[in-house]
A and B are shown apart, each in its own frame.
Chain A
Amino acid sequence: MARSATYSLIASNTLGTAVSTVTLSSIPATFTDLILVCQLTSSGTTYSSIRFNGDTASNYSLTDGYAGNGSGITSSRQTNQSQSGAGASAGIGSVMHYQINDYSNATNYKTVIMRNANVTNNNVMSVGLWRNTAAINSITLITSTADNWSIGSTFKLYGIQAGNA
């Protein structure tokens, strides 16, 4: 049987100016899963949150575990938030890797799993819930503090296409 490639780059954004919000919009519904990879730097410590389809209602929650900068490990959760928060970026840089399976179904709530690697702040693993059944057509990333992401920070969105049933 002939095979085809998957793991396609949908959108890419490299910051030319420092900003506190990045939106990846008009996401096609033609893939099965999404993977978002962010390489971030900032002047101070910022914690990143994610929001879908511009929904600012209290439809988000999160469970995470993180290892601090050599000072121990912590488990936490958030309930009924207006965005799903996780991850940290600092001046030296941070890599965040989100996976959103079955993002385009219009029947079910959405779940996102995330890993964050950061050598000066937190290494994080988390799972977030968006209690909304709409297909995801835009993703907004937001810093949780007054700090912006620095020039050169990158945001890359990939689509994974499943095979035939």
Chain B
Amino acid sequence: MSISKLTTNGVNGSKYNTVSADNYYMEPIATTLLTSTTGTITFSNIPQTYKHLQLRVFAQTNYSVGSDFLYFNINNDSATTYRHHQMFSNGSGITHSTATDTAGFYINRFGNTSTGYWGNCVVDIFDYTNANKTKTVRSFGGVDWNGSVEGAIYYMSGLYPQTSPITTIKISSDSSRVLSINSRFSLYGLKG
């Protein structure tokens, strides 16, 4: 959480100084608000000047069956095997699972056009410029379905087992589906 105000004790503890702290801890990089349906959105040429990244998502797909995952792909790499691990609660139980895929790892579940429900999630991408570590991503979010187990709250981790700095992030729906108009994807840089 950003610091908005700093308060420091004076020498004898009886005096308090309040300091305004517009600290530029978190800065917007780019946003995509869909005005037409599409299967993929891409953030490319991501600046390498931050410590961490945060992706904030409000999205929906046209998946007719129910709630839908999105893929998170890094550097347009579809040869590496990504892994995700999820813990989720859907109102009937709390459980966990893991899976691998070369298209990317999953981030959360989102709503669909037939219900008008939308998913929210916040994805934290840590130490994304480091060229010596594999990349781990944390995602928190979900979608509610007004009483159906299609709705769930998710806490997920994603692994990209490569050490290259992240310069491109691609979010995509399953190949048979598209993202809805008004879906929004916003990327931020966080200073270390």
Chain A residues close to B by CB (< 8 Å): 3-9, 32-33, 35, 37, 61-65, 73-80, 99-102, 105, 107-113, 115, 125-129, 131, 158, 160-165
Is B184 in contact with A101, judged by CB distance below 8 angstroms?
A: yes
Task: Determine the main DSSP class of A at the interface with B.
Answer: strand
Residues of B within 8 A of A111 (CB): 58, 111, 117-120, 142-144
State the CA gap A32–B186 with chains docked (Å). Answer: 9
**What's the least CB distance linking B124 to chain A, in Å?**
12
Number of residues of chain B lying within 8 A (CB) of chain A: 53
Number of A-B residue pairs at CB separation under 8 A = 168
Is A109 in contact with B182, judged by CB distance below 8 angstroms?
A: no
Contact of A5 among B23, B31, B91 (CB under 8 A): B23
Residues of B within 8 A of A128 (CB): 144
Is B91 in contact with A163, judged by CB distance below 8 angstroms?
A: no
State the CA gap A102–B32 with chains docked (Å). Answer: 12
List the one stretch of B8-16, B148-156, B168-176 in contact with chain A.
B148-156
Contact of B120 among A32, A77, A101, A164 (CB under 8 A): A101
Chain A CB within 8 A of B94 CB: yes
Closest B residue to A128 using CB positions: B144
Chain A CB within 8 A of B147 CB: yes
State the CA gap A165–B35 with chains docked (Å). Answer: 11
Is B143 in contact with A127, judged by CB distance below 8 angstroms?
A: yes
